[in-house]
């Protein structure tokens, strides 16, 4: 691994079951490397398998003769030691929030509170994708998430997306690129 390939790196972060593994699988040009194991606390976290180290995928960048490296961070705080390691030298951070449960907003708030220092330290641009939401039925409000982020001094875009859709995940990546362009170009 050389400096050149390290340059294009994005992380996906979010609470357990926010859709990080699925998002990476939707866009990766290689079969994603996953470190999912059977969860010992499946009932508590709401899914049978959970990521313990990280997910990894790549998108080929033929016009740059390079690869965009995609890292999915483990959602559980007990694996948070991985967060800082994987957040070094990233182009940007894609946060994901699962909006399908009644306590979704509170769970996301807790995660963001824990994760915000990592984003501030890395100084990377970011975007929040709200997943598994049905706009009207669930009472989804972009404002709720914007306020939650603002409490942590994070002023990043919030988009409703479907992580199973490649175009939606590409939209999040393009949002990071647009912000970098706006800041540096």
Contacting positions for another protein (CB under 8 A): 7-8, 59-64, 68, 89-92, 122-125, 129-130, 135-136, 141-142, 146, 156-161, 168, 170-171, 173-175, 177-185
Task: Identify which of residues 75 and 157 has a Cβ nearer to another protein in the complex.
Answer: 157
For residues 48 and 178, which CB has a smaller minimum distance to another protein in the complex?
A: 178
Angle, helices 142-151 vs 104-122, to 10°: value is 50
**CB of residue 184 vs another protein: minimum separation in angstroms?**
5
Smallest separation (angstroms) from another protein to the CB of 46: 23
* Nearest distance from C-beta of residue 66 to another protein, angstroms: 8
Nearest distance in Å: CB 105, another protein: 16
Closest CB to another protein among residues 49, 60: 60
Closest contact distance (angstroms) between CB of 63 and another protein is 4
Toward another protein, which CB reaches closer, 44 or 183?
183
Query: Measured from the CB atom, is 112 or 158 closer to another protein?
Result: 158
Token reading at 179: 């912000």
């Amino acid at each position: 691994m050389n400096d050149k390939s390290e340059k294009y790196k994005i992380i996906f972060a979010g609470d357990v079951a926010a859709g990080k593994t699925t998002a990476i699988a939707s866009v990766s040009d290689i079969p994603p490397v996953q470190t999912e194991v059977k969860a010992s606390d499946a009932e508590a976290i709401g899914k049978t398998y959970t990521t313990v180290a990280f997910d990894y995928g790549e998108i080929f960048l033929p016009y740059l003769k390079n690869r965009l490296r995609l890292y999915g961070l483990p959602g559980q705080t007990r694996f948070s030691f991985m967060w800082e390691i994987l957040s070094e030298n990233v182009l940007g951070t894609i946060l994901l929030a699962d909006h399908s449960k009644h306590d979704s907003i509170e769970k996301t708030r807790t995660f963001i509170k824990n994760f915000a220092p990592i984003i501030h330290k890395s100084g990377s641009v970011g975007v929040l994708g709200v997943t598994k939401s049905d706009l009207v039925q669930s009472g989804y409000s972009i404002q709720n998430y914007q306020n939650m982020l603002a409490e942590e001094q994070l002023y990043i875009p919030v988009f409703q997306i479907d992580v199973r859709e490649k175009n939606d995940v590409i939209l999040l990546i393009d949002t990071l690129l647009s912000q970098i362009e706006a800041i540096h170009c």
